[in-house]
Structure 1
Amino acid sequence: MQNRNISDIIESYLKEILADSKQIEIKRSEIAEQFDVVPSQINYVIKTRFNIQNGYLVESKRGGGGYIRIAKVNLINNVNVIDDLIDYIGDHINARKGLQIIQSLYEDKVLTKKEANLILAAIDSNTLSFADKKVEDQVRARILISILNRLRCKE
């Protein structure tokens, strides 16, 4: 078996369940118990691996009957998701997070491989090699937001 950490294993498990349905509802404590980890580890996996830039919407309810609902969303067919991505980007975004967004759009077949690679080239740190990292992140955000707005109109 590959040398994978527990976060990768939990992520794979949740994605395997999601493969059978568009949405799952889990109890954080039950998953934590199943993998013999603390519940905060489940929170970490969900926060870092199941977020809007990766094509997931997460909803949670706290308390005894609480749950975490994870839904895989089709990024192009849901204008609200594009709006959420634009809000997430804001006025700046780093290269790693930009890459995650483009990967999700490619995985959802919103972008072809060629389109995704062209966009990645445009937002790459080597392309946007400004002396000021803040300016680089701002330009990257403008490029991505412009692309997302164009995708709203994609036929």
Structure 2
Amino acid sequence: MSVSLAGKIEKYIKALLSQSKTGTVELGRQDLARRFNCVPSQINYVLSTRFTVEQGYMVESRRGGGGYLRISRIAIHSNQDLIEMVKQMEGEVSQSEAEKYTSRLLEAGVITLREAQIILAAVNRKTLAVALPARDIIRANIFKAIVLAIVSNQK
């Protein structure tokens, strides 16, 4: 099975992050583009789709001659970290964003596979059979309530 260019770039960045003691890497956009023989906009695409807050990453970017990309893994070490994650969620959450948040919680070991499946069933567009934007607002409220319930039961 062939891995896409975006997949290769993602894998490379994640490998660098896993080797980092601080959970942060600093890279040059142009350097990455040269390494993968692509245009810088391809690097931007990977960052904007695969290194989002929902997926547990913070990306800082500075353009120009001395520009850089600083990519950090957002750790979930405590219930307070979970509460902060929920606070950062906007008033609306799409199904895709809910899936990414849920994957992040599962990956961090905060929830079990069974809990992830329950969350995804509760926030699925078929379950929330109402029109947008109400569906995304309801989804956000349900998701937040579930995460806060998990936090309160872990004390």
TM-score band by shorter chain is 0.7 to 0.9
Q: CA deviation at 1:125?
A: 1.4
Matching residue of 1:12: 11
Q: Secondary structure at the match of 1:143?
A: helix
Q: Residue by residue, what CA displacement relative to the aligned partner does 1:41-99 show, whole Å, maximum 9, x if unpaired? A: 11111111111100111122333222111111223538467435533x32211111110
Q: CA deviation at 1:114?
A: 1.4
Structure 2, gaps ≥5 residues long: none
Q: CA deviation at 1:123?
A: 0.6
Given that 1:95 and 1:137 are in contact with CA atoms closer than 8 Å, whether structure 2 keeps it comes out as: yes
Matching residue of 1:43: 44
Matching residue of 2:122: 122
The number of residue pairs the alignment matches comes to: 152
Distance (Å, rounded) in 1 between the aligned partners of 2:49 and 2:79 = 22
Matching residue of 1:112: 112
| Over 6 Å off, 4+ runs | none
Q: Secondary structure at the match of 1:120?
A: helix
Taking only aligned residues, the RMSD between alpha carbons, in angstroms, comes to 2.0
Q: Secondary structure at the match of 1:133?
A: coil
Structure 1, gaps ≥5 residues long: none
Q: TM-score, normalised by structure 1?
A: 0.86
Distance (Å, rounded) in 1 between the aligned partners of 2:145 and 2:119 = 11
Distance (Å, rounded) in 1 between the aligned partners of 2:69 and 2:43 = 10
Matching residue of 1:94: 94
Matching residue of 2:67: 66
Matching residue of 1:140: 139
Q: TM-score, normalised by structure 2?
A: 0.86
